[in-house]
Amino acid sequence: MIPSTSINRRGALKALTAGGAGLAAMMLPRKLMGPEGLNAEEQIAAPSLRALPRLKITDVRTIPMTVGRYHLTVVKVMTDEPGLYGVGCGTHSERQAVVADTIERYMKPAIVGRYADDINDIWHMAWLAPYWRASVDASNAMSAIDGALWDILGKRAGMPVYELLGGKLRPAVPMFANANGSSPDEIEDGVRAAIEEGYQFVRIRHADSRPPADGWSEVDDEGAPVFPARRRDIVNVNELVETFEHLRDTVGWDVELSHDVHGALSPSSALTLAKACEPLRLHFLEDLFSPEDAHWYEHARAQSSTPIAYGELIVNQNEWVPLAANRWIDYIRCHISAIGGLTPARKIAACCEFFGVRTSWHGPANVSPIGHAVNMHLDLATKNFGIAEGDPFSDELQELFPGAPERRNGMTYPSDAPGLGVDINEEMAANYPPQGGRDRGMRCFDGSPCHP
């Protein structure tokens, strides 16, 4: 119902000629019209109309650390309300030092003194600041700040972030497990173990078909990394198909199976794999083609019904919008900190909803529990959520990050804590000095460099 407001003819014409602000002022109830004749925008921004005064950012603390082989980068954004701060994750494990330096040298001076609720304005400022958009180092720095500002907003409102995003659509988040092995029998054991733990979704991987998590298996006499060699495409394709066939014969059809191709195959071999897997009814094949060969997804959709997940290595909207809009992929797998954080990720999820593309954010072990909490809050509030990635957190990580999301029975369960619900134990973090990051790479069977 439109509020009853006394407006004479001359006042109405004056308000209309004043544009949108004048028209908005016409619609304000009498009690909101100030004695000094403030317009609508001034009234809305007036401190007297706010339930709480606005907070200013007073400091940014960058906390890089190396826990085991994982190079994590998190921040604390401090405010002028004593005891109120937000935490965020900007982990780029390969370039930890660059991200930490970007936060300290560029992001911190740009936002200290700004209002903490200017989330959109700060994000777009940071997006444009480097001039060259979609820089993965700058995006990770943006993500750290962005997550912390959402955390502050939720804490101040006394609400979990998922409520700020519109509320939960599901009570918990289903996860997929990983089953690795060097033979079909070993992988079968891993799949059965995952099912016993409550997982209904399992991603398989031959232990010797991908580089180890830290990028190399050993170092030479001078300390230089020795990259493992990847086998020929025909070996990978044949072994994968045989393993999936073995699992369907032994474990059955009730478990959802997937595999991360990781762009490791030539496009023609990857397409052969997708076609061969059609009768095996996979949950998805992930990153079937590398970003450089993204145009092949059109051919894959035309020739195969095997579901496809894509996005771990993409950072720019031009890399995913055509694929989603043309329905060439089934799942979007962006690494949230690499694309700039929660703010752009929720827009990607909303856009993909209209094209039937579901979310499955990248969530490996080299993302901090803060980053995983961002994924979880989005998953809870996203209609087109598909499946989530992430293992249970170790006791060490739970102590380092109090409030880390609870994972059990193949699910992640949220708490009712305001904000992201996770904190960082700074005193404990000091025991894990940063090592700056790492490089990844491997060699093909003939000794040439391959995609990791």
Q: What is the pLDDT of residues 238-284, one digit of tens each?
A: 999 999 999 999 999 999 999 999 998 999 999 999 999 999 999 99
Tokens 């085991």 found at: 68
Given a contact cutoff of 8 angstroms between Cβ atoms, the answer to whether 362 and 335 are in contact is yes
pTM of the model: 0.85
Given a contact cutoff of 8 angstroms between Cβ atoms, the answer to whether 75 and 88 are in contact is yes
- What are the tens digits of pLDDT across the range 123-143? 999 999 999 888 889 999 999
Mean pLDDT of the chain: 87
Neighbouring CB atoms inside 10 A of 192's CB total 16
Mean pLDDT of 159-163: 98
| pLDDT for 443 | 75
Mean pLDDT of 139-167: 97
Q: Is the pLDDT of residue 156 over 60?
A: yes
CA dihedral of residues 109, 113, 118, 123 (deg, nearest 10): 0
**Which of the four pLDDT bands, split at 50, 70 and 90, describes residue 206?**
confident
Q: From the centroid of its chain, how far is CA 256?
A: 22
**Which of the four pLDDT bands, split at 50, 70 and 90, describes residue 24?**
very low
| pLDDT for 446 | 76
- What are the tens digits of pLDDT across the range 373-430? 999 999 999 999 999 999 899 999 999 999 999 999 999 999 999 999 999 999 999 9
| pLDDT for 233 | 84
Mean pLDDT of 421-443: 89
DSSP 285: E
Compute the distance between CA of residue 289 and CA of residue 295 in angstroms, rounded to an integer.
9
**Which of the four pLDDT bands, split at 50, 70 and 90, describes residue 44?**
low
**Which of the four pLDDT bands, split at 50, 70 and 90, describes residue 29?**
very low
Neighbouring CB atoms inside 10 A of 57's CB total 24
Assigned CATH for 164-416 = 3.20.20.120
Compute the distance between CA of residue 330 and CA of residue 386 in angstroms, rounded to an integer.
9
Which is more confidently placed, 10 or 342? 342
Given a contact cutoff of 8 angstroms between Cβ atoms, the answer to whether 359 and 352 are in contact is yes
Cross-strand partners of 219: 225
| pLDDT for 440 | 75
Q: Which two tokens stand for residue 137?
A: 């180092």
Neighbouring CB atoms inside 10 A of 306's CB total 23
At position 23, the amino acid (one-letter code) is L
Question: Which residues in 432-446 are b (16+ Cβ under 10 Å) and which e?
Answer: bebeebbebebeeee
**Which of the four pLDDT bands, split at 50, 70 and 90, describes residue 442?**
confident
Mean pLDDT of 36-49: 57
Q: Is the pLDDT of residue 213 over 80?
A: no
Three-state secondary-structure class, residue 89: strand
The percentage of residues in the chain with a pLDDT greater than 90, rounded to a whole number, is: 75
**Which of the four pLDDT bands, split at 50, 70 and 90, describes residue 46?**
low
Of residues 203, 214, 209, the one with CA closest to residue 179: 203
| pLDDT for 1 | 38
| pLDDT for 376 | 98
Of residues 175, 241, 181, the one with CA closest to residue 202: 175
Domain coordinates of the chain in residue numbers? 9-49, 57-159, 164-416
What kind of fold does domain 57-159 have according to CATH? Enolase-like; domain 1 (3.30.390)
